[in-house]
Amino acid sequence: MGYKIVCLNCRKAFSNNRGFNNNFGKCQECGETFVYYNHKFRPPKRNNIKAWSVVKFLQQNGFIYQHVNDKYVKTRQYGYYTYTVYPKSMAEAKEFVIKFTK
Ligand SMILES: [Zn+2]
C-alpha cells in the first residue's frame, strides 16, 4: 500500500520512497525529519499555509491520518466503528484533538 513522505517544513509530499533512500529520513532541502503518512493523506497545495498548519498541528498531537474510530455502529450480527473524517480548519482540528486524544 502506498504511503507518502512529507516534509512539513517545506510543505512537500512525495509518494513512496523513490529517490529518497539515502537521506536517512530527512529532507534534503531543510534537514527536517520526514513524516510518513498513509495513502489517505491528501497533501494541500504548497501555498496553502493554513491547511499545512492544520496538518502540522495534528501531527504534533499524534494524528498522522491514521484511522481514528468515531461512532460505533451496531448491526444485527456485529458492530463496527466508522472512521472519522480529518478536520480541515484549525478550529475543527483543535476540537478533533480534544475529542480523540485519550
Ligand atoms: Zn524540507
DSSP characters over 56-73? HHHHHTT-SS---EEEEE
Boundaries of domain holding 25: 3-100
What was the pLDDT predicted at 90? 97
Indicate whether 17 pLDDT > 60.
no
Q: Can you point out the beta strands (E) in the chain?
A: 3-7, 12-15, 35-38, 69-74, 79-83
Report how far ligand 1's centroid is from the alpha carbon of 48 (Å).
16
Length of the chain: 102
Mean pLDDT of the chain: 88
User: How many domains in the chain?
Assistant: 1
Report how far ligand 1's centroid is from the alpha carbon of 7 (Å).
5
Report how far ligand 1's centroid is from the alpha carbon of 33 (Å).
8
Report how far ligand 1's centroid is from the alpha carbon of 19 (Å).
15
What number is the average pLDDT over the span 19-46?
Answer: 82
Report how far ligand 1's centroid is from the alpha carbon of 88 (Å).
22
